[in-house]
Each structure stands twice: as structure tokens, then as C-alpha cells.
Structure 1
Amino acid sequence: MSLDTDGAWAMRELSSLLRPRVHLSVSEWADAYRLLSPKASSEPGPWRTARTPYLREIMDALSATSDVERIVVMKSAQLGLTEAAVNWIGYIMDQVRTAKPTLIVVPTDRLLVRWRHQRLNPMIEGAECLRSKIDISKSREGSNRLDLIDYPGGLLYLTTAGSASNLKSDSLCYVICDEADEYAWDVDGRGDPLGLIESRQSNFPRRKLLIFSTPTVKGSSRIEGEWERSDQRRYHVVCPHCGERQALVWEHLHWNADVTQVWYACAHNGCVIEERDKPALLAGGEWIATHPGRRVRGYHLSALYAPLGLGYSWRELATQWVEAADSDERRQHFTNERLGLPWEDRRTNVDLRDLAARAEPYPLREAQPGVGLITAGIDTQDDRLAVQIVGWGEGGRWWVLDYIELPGDPARPEVWIALTDLLGRAIHTAHGIPIPLEGAAIDMAGHNTEHVKAYVRGCRLPRVIAITGSRYRLDRPLGPARKIDHRANGQTIKHGMRYHQVGTELAKDRLYADLRADADQPPPDRRAHFSQDLPPEYLAGLLSETWNPKRQRYEPKRGMTKRNEPLDTWVYAYAVAHHPEIRLDRLRPSDWERRVTRFFGSESKPESSPSKPASEPQPMRPVAAPPSPPRRSNFVQGWKR
């Protein structure tokens, strides 16, 4: 290359650097440079924001000139939010001159691969302004890996929400959180992944965080919580007949009996709006905030806004709704994926304030009339043991008699000594008659397994068992005993320690059914009874989970992963009450009468005046006799027979 040529090239480069920069918004950049790939779009070709006008404000809030820091989008599926996020990435790579490290967080490795190969790579290849800067063909180089793109002016990282080390490693300016409802609430014991991400952004005053997701279950949905703290914007369209603005909601979509005709009824005057009016509706739409003063921008979008040809039609949506009428799982899927709303399951729909109002004025560790059987459940944590003692009575009634947390490291003997002392102290009636504990279940899952096994082996209290939650749904609260001790060669020890699996879903079904059934019932008619002296966090912990029909399991509510011991310990106490030597489910009315009369005398009968039993109760015999040990035989005995 000649000197003149070198000089001309240098002047062109210098001129491009000194030329005044045109400040584009994200939507303007996308309209100018973005090409949609057939790998990820049903309409490949130049991006047109006018096709999805509801995305314009969301994208422009991500522009460098916008002072919005946190943007939340609670949405249904397939409305273009992921492509809008890809537009933002292209905008950052091309328009932001100073180095701005960016992170994309997805829930799984599979989605990370899809982001890289179906979203980012085609976007870079299709935009000339990026293709000349970034060579994505060198995918094995250190600067261009599956989880990293090193481009002129910045770095783009990709990671999963399950990697705490990746979420904490570097400072970040821009972050995209895709499908945030799929993130765990606790990552490797280091807390909420969103909290880890936010701490990494603190060094950048012009930081931005985009969180978008389809919601899941009400109360446990992460995006629902983010939306509730936002200014809650909805896209208002203009009725083509009366001119009134309104957000599109499912309740105003109507159809005839065979779903051949579907229309939208104007919320103001009942005008019939047909789907063919949708292009004009979307073009004239406007985002309106419910809480304008809040700093967090929040947007909600349902499939009702899907442009013609880019999503389900109104008729298809109505058909799906009708077909899902007989299935909670399908209704949840429709509510989440089509309406972009969290599903509220009736199974665990118990109000905390209503439950607190049911608390009764009886002291802890005092058995109430009707209690005929007492068991305990123990949950192990790194720094404490949570213990719940429950009294059981006829007709499915139960009383929480104590809930206490014993501080201490389970690796040390002190906390186990305190547990033995607690379980060994009988619960007394109001007249001082002791009712002994008949069984206790201790969770051995986690990294305290060996400590629990050692305690159960050496414990001399009756029916203290080690348990663990079953990975599958059991048809009983307590599974049969299983051998757990093994010799060095791997052979199980015949008379070694055993453990039981707990049918946690079945037990929680029973608990939440009781709590629902007790609503508006007077105290004598309730199944569940709570003392006013229980610690404040007890009832919240009891309601710490909700049922997810789609996944067929109970899941923690938002932020409740750390304090669900009241729920777990109740489940364990319920499970051990079904021990083969106790069998709560097999007790007959005569068994309950014998037990209750032994402890309370005639006090337990409403028509009789309270009286104190004449003598101390004797230990209760099990309803079902314990299994007999296997009969041993030898050659001489066999010969004699």
C-alpha cells in the first residue's frame, strides 16, 4: 500500500471519528439496520417497528438518551419481546462508543444456545454496521465463544441464572433477564439471582436492566412481583366507533356458541370491534401508566394485541379457552401463555390475614380438649433445628401446640441435646395431666444427613424416625421403612437403621384443604387450631408455597424459600402420625374416646362439666401392633419339627 493510499485511509478513519454522531433510539436503529432472519422469524426481512407498534416505547426506554433504569415486561408468549431485546444488543454494539459490558441471563443452557445461534448470530450477520466489526465465524477463539462476544467497544456475556459464580464475577452496565419466572429463588446458597445481578451494576450510573417473562403462579411469580412494584403501563387503543381509549382485556372478548364469530365489545359503549380493525388499533395505541410516579417502568401485554398474521387470532384464542374449560392445567397454560397473567390456584388460596384472625387464646404447650395423640416434626438448617409439635384429634381436627427454633450447629452435640430435652418434656392439659409424645420425624435431606442418622440411632425416645421427601407423589403420607446402613462392600445391614419417605404433596393437600374448609367456621367446627402465642412468622411460613398445576408440584411463593420451616415441620408431624405403630388414619371413634377420656376425663364432652382424671395416664399402646421380628430357625429346630 502506498503512502498516499495509507494517508487517505487514515483521513477517512479520522473523519468518521470526528463526524458529529447522530443519536438514534433503539427503534430507529432497528428500522435502519436490523434484518430478521428466517431462523427466528416468520416474516424475514427488514425490521419494521410499525408492525408491532407497542414495542416502540419499550425499546426507546432502553436507548442511551433515556433515563429509565429498570424495565419490566409481563407478557404472553410470541409478542416480539425477545426480538426487541436483540435490537437493543445491536444498538449497544453499534451506537454506544464507550465500553459498556452487557449480560444476557437465561434460565437454561438450551435457551442460551438458542439465543446465540438463532438470535445474536443472525442479527450480527444481517446488520452491515455490525458484520464489519464482529467476525462470528471464529467461534472457538477466546474473544468469541458461546458465552462471550468481544466486540470493539465492549463485551457481551451470556450465562444461565443457575450459575452464581458467573452472576457475581464482573461489573455490568446493561443486563437482559429473559424468562425470569424460570429462575430459582436461591442460587448455590448465595441468594436471589436478580439481587446478585443488581449488585454488579452498582458501579455504572447509567445502568439499565430489562426483565421480561411469561408469568406462572400468582404469589410465586417473579415477574408478577416486579410488575406490582412498577408504574403498571397498559397499551390503550382507540375504539374505531366511539373514539374512547381502553386497554384490551379478555373479559370483553365475545363469541357465539360455535365460536365462528368473535368480536371485542368496547368497554365504554359496547361498540362491536372486529379483529380486522386491529392494525389501526395498534397504530393509534398509547401506553398509559396506572401509577405514574413510580420509577420502575412496567408493561403488560396479552395475545389480544398480536398483529394480524404474527400470532393467534381472536377466534383461535376463544377456541383454546373453550377447549381448556375442563382442565386446570390447560386453563393455567392459557392464562400464562395467552393472557400474560399469573394463575391463581384455588388449592392454596388462603388469605394470611384471615388465617391470623382465626388464632385462638390458648397457651402453647397446653393440650386442648380433644387432643388424643401428639407428634413432632423437625427440620434441620445450618444454624438451627425447627421443631413443631402437633396434637391430633377425632374428625380430622388438629392443634399446633408448639413451634420453636433451637439455635445451634447440627454438627455439634449441644443442639441435639436440647432437642432430646424438648421432645422428652410431655405436653400437659390445663389440669396438669401429661400427654407423652408418640413419634417424631426428622428431615435427613441436605448436608446434615449423617448428623440426623447418628441422632436417630442413639435416641431412646419412642418412634423417632429419619425421613426425606419423596421425589414422586406417594399415595400415603409415610412410605414404608427402607434400609440405609451399608457395609464396606455395599451390602445393606439387615438390622441397621432405616428411613421413611414422606408423601409431601399428599400432606400439603390435606393441610391446605383444612385451611380452606375452616374459612368462616366458628372455632368449635374448625379442623385447624392455632395459638395466639405462635411467633409472627409461623403463619406466613405455613402459607409459603402454592400449587403449580402445570408442573404438578408445590412451589415457594416469592421470597419464601428461606422460611418455610413451619410448613415442612407440619408435614413431618403429620407423616409420623401415620407410623405403622400409630396409624392416625386407622383410629376409630372408640379409640379416640379411650384416648381423650384417659387424658381429659369427661372434660372433653361438651355436655359434661370439666373434671380431672383420678390418676396419671398410662403410656398408650399402638392401635396397630408393630411388625413381629422375623422368626429365626436353625437346623435342630427344623429337624424337631
Structure 2
Amino acid sequence: MNQISPESWEAIKEAVSAGLGPLKTQIPQSAVEWADEHFYLPEGASQIPGRWSTQPVQKALLNMMGNDAIASFTLKKPTRFGYTKMLCAAIWYLGVHKKRSSVVYEPTDPLAKKFTLDEVDSLLPMVPAIQAVFPDWNVNNEKNNAKKKSCIGFSIDILGAESPNNHRALTKQVVVGDEMSAWKINSGEGDNVKNLLKRIQGSSFGKALFGSTVTFTGDVIERLLDEADCVFNFHIPCPHCGKMQRLLWGDKDSTYGMKWNNSLQTDEEKSNSAYYLCEDAKCQQSESKGKIYYRSLSKMEELGRWICQKTGIWTEDGLSFFNEAGSRVKTPKRVGIEVSALYSLNLTEGWIELVREWLDIKGDPSKLQSFWNLVLGLHWQPQHTKRMSHEDLLDRREKYKAQVPKDVVYITVGGDTQDNRMEGYTWGFTPDFRKYLIDKFICMGDPRDQEVQDAVVQYCDTTYTREDGEKLRISRICWDLAGHRSEIVYKLSKRIGLLRFIPCRGASSYGQPVQTMPMQVNKKTGTYIVQVGTDTAKDTFYTDIEVPLGEPRAIHLPLDDRVCDEDTCKQLVSEVRKPKKTKQGVLFVYDNEGRRNEALDCFDYALSALHVSIEKFSLNLSDYKSQQQTQKAAAASFAELGKKLGA
């Protein structure tokens, strides 16, 4: 029998040791301890790449995500908070340190692939602790691909939640639901959340990690928070008086919250004066006047405490939990987290940039909802769930000094086609986005009749005289093509001008921009087709109709029954938001409840035409008068030159 040399024995022992190394029992670490020792932020996928350091506000949350006693963790998250990086750290901690297999569900398969490329694959070259248990980390094969990472002792699957097949035949210890507000809650085989939880049924340490930015109230995240045993908010001490408090945005009437000097002239100056006002009245009267600045936030968070308002249970580290008397209590099995970007230490300019975003809203309902959802991390309670009275609109009407008031600089039309008529409404816009209803067109008859089409062409060529004598032409028209004689709308677009008369249809999903216009004509129809975010446009109307007359964004209606009679006013306020169960969960959708709504629809299309001009043709309403003057001066110069050359 051949003897093995001492050198060979050493080589064998090293190989066996290396192979068994990942299976060794490790010294127990919390998720924060493991991440701070082993985790990295990859180049290109992080604001500040390099070794991970858990921020004070993140410590309890990351530990909860790794805490075996917590079976369900749900976070209602803002942007700029670092949640996705925390989630990746938790998944790898549970795998590498505890040998727990995970399945990560993103809303769709393409988003799942993107998550793998951006958040998982980018980590592999940087984290030795992962490489030690993942021999194939730098090889693309059946153990390492966009859908699966098979490591020694555990695996990670990354799948789309929309496909029923992705919920079958998977048994894991950890299930992750990411960006759940964008999910289809029912993809054809029942409640997807319940289907997810089946993946960890019977597991000794089964854990569900749910997180999402949110939209409307009534979504799945709100449901999961309602089901939680405790919902925690972060309370931190004022650096002046020490009072523990939760950071809230507040409003102009709040006695505490985010504040700035509103007497300054520009929005930039106002945002640069941002500070947080302590809620303690005595502190506000002290030398510091209760003003807290962003530079103090990190130290405040080091002394913070997560408190459940409902039960009084609190924790500082996510590992030990206490009641209001300070006695240790059993760790809650289902926890929820609410937090806002006010706590984020990832803000380049601190609270200044949040105030700047707030000041930029300027009454725009879509921007307001975005701020509410993404910055404050709050569900948006839909407005306009009660129908306005049309009498309010009749009372709002006013006598224009001319058909087109002097401040109007741009005119658009929104049009609608029915089986027995074609109708349109003309709207004028000012530099500060006030909106004036100017004219109305209704031509009875079959849209296929040539005289009806000729009437539409004649109406679109109307020239109006402004109060100061200036002649204004209709600049752009968006005309609805859905449901009634769409071929006639395409025909009119080619006749009037593809970029001037644009067929449009309502977007198929909610929350879309007012306009989405393709860069090329539709090959089938030979025209452009604009998608109109009708709910976004209706939000604009119902928000701005309540703005006092004369103020920016206000809507003006003429005291002229030919243009704006009682029936028109009824149509403008014909719709309300109503809850509707969809595959995405409960959404608040506009419903006319059987009432006529052509006037409101035509407002949507006219607004869309304006946004096409702004976003596709660089229209600047605030500078439009000077642009017109420059163009007129240039035209006059060319005309004069032509006369001289002719002479």
C-alpha cells in the first residue's frame, strides 16, 4: 500500500477543512453584528459604496428581521431610507449565519430579474462571507442564475409574484414580499399573501418579511399592519429638553413639526431655513426656541426607542422588548413598522431637500400624493369621495370682460365622440396655471357624415380675441377615440394635423401621468395616440376647482349659459372616488354612477393636450408671452426684408 507523504496529508486536511468550514457552528450574532462585520454596499447600486455600517434608526429594524421570535415583519417604508440594503443584509444573514433558505417575491418577473442583477449579483464579488458558502458565486449555471442562488446549506430564490406557478412547490424558512403595493393580491389562485405564508408552513423558524412603499389606503400593507400584534414608531429625544417624540411633518397650524421661515422671498431661501420644532411648549420658549437641526439627528437616533402606541411595548435594539413599566415582555410574533424620510440619514442636504420638495408641490395633487407616499411613508386617503354640488359651480361662474381673459396665453381643446354627436370644450391657460373655460362645441349628427367632420375642422380653426385685442388660435387638440367611431378621429387627425389634433384614450391603470405620448406614429392607424391618466387629470380638476378665484391653479367658469350652463356644471362634478376591489387590492377609482360626464372628460383631454405641449414641445407658459413677442418681431423683420427685396 502506498504511503501518503506529510505534504499530501496537509493538503488533504486543508481541503477537508475548507469544505467543512461553512458547516461549522458559528458564534451567535445578531443581524446587526453580522452585517457590520461582513456586509458591503456595492459600487453603482449604493450612494456610498463600501463596508456596511448600520445606522441608528436601522439597528432595531435589521435585528427584528433576523430575530427568530418574530414570525412576521411588515414595514411601510419611505424612499431614501436604505430598506432594500437592509433587506439584502437580512436575507444573507439568515442564509449564511443561520442556514435558512429564502424566497424573494418582487411584483413581476422582470422586476425580480432586476432585483437579482442590481441587489444580489452586485454583492457577490464584494462579500467574502457569501463567497465562502457559495462556490459558484462567479459562475453562471443552474446553481447561480437570475432566479436562484444555491449555496452550501441554504438557497435563495428570486421570483415574480404575478405568476401562480411561482407560488407552487416551494418550501422555505423565509419568505420575502417586496414592493407589495404593486402586487396583484389575487393572481387567479386566491390570496397571494396567504399563498406566500404556505411556503413557510411547518418550518421551525418560519419568517415572513414584508415591505413596500404605499399608495392608497386599503392596500395589502395596511391590512398586514392591522393584523400585527404591535406597530412601532421611532421616538427620539429633543437635544435641548430631552423630550421623547415622534418626528411628524405637521402643517402650518401645527405647534410642532417641520418648519421654515415663510417670510423669505424665494423657495430656495425658505428651504434653506428648515428646522424641526420640538413639541414641548417650554422648550419652544427657551433660549433654543425648540429648534432642532438636521445635524443633530444622528445623535438623537442613537438614543431612540421604538414604541407601539397601541400596547405601550417598546424596544431599543429589536432583540429585547419591554412594557411601559420597564419590565421585559415576550417578543411579539407579528410586528409592523411605520417610519418616514424625516429620520433618514441618507439625505444629501438633510431636511432642506424635503422642504424644497414640499414647496415645489404648489397645489399639484399628484405631487402631493407622491410626497405623502414616498417621503412621509403614509397611505394616501383619497380626496373627492363626496360629490360636489353643481350649484357651487353655478355660483362660481363669473362675467369675463372678453371671451378670452387677458392673462390667457395658451388654448387647447378636449373632444369626445358619441354615436350621435361630436363635442368639444375649449380651455385657456395662464402662466400660473389658472384655467378658463372659454368655449363649447356640440354638433349633432352621425360622426361619419361629412358635414359633422367639417364642423369639427371649422371649430378647431377658431381664432379668439383676447381682452387686450390679441388674436389666439387653438394650439393643440386631444380627442377621445375609445368606444365611438375611432376611425373618424384618426381621419380628422390626418386632415387637421397629426401633431395638432391627437387621438387619445384613457390609460388602462390608475396613477398614470396626465399624458403619455409615443415618439412615433402608430403603424396601424398612421397617427399618434396619447394615453391620458384620467384619474390624475380629475384629481387636478377637483383640487383646483376649490382654489379661490384669481389664485394660481384656480379654475374659472364663464357666466354664459351657452358655454357653461347647469348641465355642464353637473357633468363637471359628475364623478366621485369609490373603493373598488381589484387584483391589486382595494383602489379608490372615479365613478360617475351613471351620470353624464362628457364635460369632465373633455377637461381631462384639454389638460392632456397642454401637458403634451409642455413635455413634448417644451412649452413654457410663464415665458410664452415673450416667446410670442420674439416670434412676431422676427416675422415682422422678415416681412419688412421681403418688401425691400421685392422693391
- TM value normalised by structure 2: 0.54
Q: 1:247 to 1:170 in 2, by over 3 A?
A: same
Alignment of 1:487-506 (within 5 A): none
Which amino acid counterpart does residue 292 of structure 2 have in structure 1? I
* CA apart distance, 1:329: 0.4
Match of 1:278 among 281, 285, 297: 297
- Amino acid paired to 2:111: L
Amino acid at match of 1:69: A
Give a deviation string over 1:11-47, Cα, whole Å, max 9, x none: 7469958965301111110011112112211212211
Aligned equivalents of 2:191, 2:73: Cα separation in 1: 18
CA spacing shift, 1:15–1:139, aligned 2, 3 Å:
closer
State the match for 2:329 in structure 1.
none
**Who is 2:579 aligned against?**
544
Per the alignment, do residues 217 and 14 of structure 1 end up closer, same or farther by CA in structure 2, a change over 3 Å counting? closer
The residue type equivalent to 1:118 in the other structure is D
Amino acid in the other structure paired with 2:105? V
Query: Following the alignment from structure 1 to structure 2, what is the Cα–Cα distance between the partners of residues 21 and 323?
Result: 52
Q: Which moved more, 1:151-160 or 1:284-293?
A: 284-293
For 1:387-420, what per-residue CA distance to the aligned partner results, in whole angstroms no more than 9, with x for missing partners?
xxxxxxxxxxxxxxxxxxxxxxxxxxxxxxxxxx
Find the counterpart in structure 2 of residue 45 from structure 1: 50
Q: 6, 9, 20: which one pairs with 1:4? A: 9
2: CA distance between counterparts of 1:300 and 1:28?
24
Amino acid at match of 2:277: A
Letter in 2 for 1:305: Y
Q: Is 1:102 paired with 2:102?
A: yes
1:365 aligns with none
CA distance in 2, matches of 1:507, 1:250: 27
In structure 2, how many angstroms separate the alpha carbons of the residues matched to 1:71 and 1:62?
7
Per the alignment, residue 268 of structure 1 pairs with 280
What are the equivalent positions in structure 2 for 1:110-149 lying under 5 Å apart?
110-135=110-135, 139-149=139-149
* Residue in structure 2 matched with residue 182 of structure 1 by the alignment: 182
Change (3 A) 1:256 1:135: same
**Residue number in structure 1 paired with 2:95:** 93
User: Structure 1 residue 321 and structure 2 residue 324: aligned?
Assistant: no
Alpha carbon RMSD of aligned pairs, Å?
Answer: 4.0
Q: Which aligned pairs between 1:45-444 and structure 2 lie closer than 5 A?
A: 45-49=50-54, 52-63=55-66, 66-97=68-99, 100-135=100-135, 139-187=139-187, 189-219=188-218, 221-230=219-228, 231-251=230-250, 252-257=257-262, 258=264, 259=270, 260-269=272-281, 270=284, 271-292=290-311, 295-307=333-345, 310-311=347-348, 313-348=350-385
Aligned mates of 2:151, 2:23 — CA distance in 1: 21
Q: Measure, in 1, the Cα distance between the counterparts of 2:484 and 2:42.
A: 54
The answer on whether the counterparts of 2:184 and 2:585 sit within 8 Å (CA) in structure 1 is no
**What letter matches 2:275 in structure 1?**
W
Name the SS of the counterpart of 1:243 in structure 2. Answer: coil
Question: Which residue identity does 1:316 align to in structure 2?
Answer: E
Task: Return 5+ residue gaps in structure 2 as ranges.
Answer: 251-256, 265-269, 285-289, 314-331, 388-477, 489-504, 509-532, 546-569, 571-575, 599-647
Return the letter of the residue paired with 1:329: S
Residue of structure 2 equivalent to 1:32: 37
Aligned to 1:393: none
Given that residues 477 and 506 in structure 1 are in contact (C-alpha distance below 8 angstroms), is that contact kept between their aligned partners in structure 2? no
Partners of 2:68 and 2:205 within 8 A in 1: no
Task: Give the superposition deviation at 1:210.
Answer: 0.8
Count of equivalent residues = 394
User: Following the alignment from structure 2 to structure 1, what is the Cα–Cα distance between the partners of residues 295 and 242?
Assistant: 17
What do the CA deviations read for 1:505-550 (whole angstroms, capped 9, x no partner)?
Answer: 989999xx99xx9xxxxxxxxx9xxxxxxxxxxxxx99433xxxxx
User: Which has the larger displacement, 155-164 or 120-129?
Assistant: 120-129
Identical aligned residues as a percent: 22
Deviation at 1:53, TM superposition (A): 1.3
- In the aligned structure 2, how far is the partner of 1:17 from the partner of 1:197? 29
CA 1:347–1:558: 2 relative to 1, 3 Å: farther
The separation in 2 between residues aligned to 1:503 and 1:89, in whole angstroms, is 37
Calculate the TM-score normalised by the size of structure 1: 0.55
Distance 2:181 2:381 in 1: 15
Structure 2 distance, partners of 1:169, 1:15, is 29
Partners of 1:282 and 1:138 lie apart in 2 by 39
| Superposed counterparts of 1:610-629, under 5 Å | none
Deviation at 1:94, TM superposition (A): 1.5
Contact 2:22 2:132 in 1 (8 A): no
Q: Secondary structure at the match of 2:91?
A: helix
> Which structure: larger Rg?
1
Q: 1 CA distance for matches of 2:295 and 2:507?
A: 52
Cα distance in 2 for residues equivalent to 1:557 and 1:14: 47
Give the Å deviation of 1:137.
5.4
Q: Does 1:22 align with 2:57?
A: no
1: CA distance between counterparts of 2:122 and 2:506? 50
Distance 1:244 1:326, change over 3 A: same
Change (3 A) 1:40 1:310: farther
1:239–1:245 Cα contact (<8 Å) kept: yes
Give the residue type in structure 2 aligned to 1:239: C
SS of structure 1 residue aligned to 2:116: helix
Amino acid at match of 2:27: V
| One-letter amino acid of the counterpart of residue 299, structure 1 | I
Letter in 1 for 2:30: S
State the shift of 1:316 in Å: 1.3
Q: Match for 2:34: what amino acid? A: W
1:544 is paired with a residue whose SS is: strand
Q: Measure how far apart 1:141 and its partner are.
A: 1.3
| Aligned mates of 1:253, 1:138 — CA distance in 2 | 48
Secondary structure of the residue aligned to 1:145 is coil
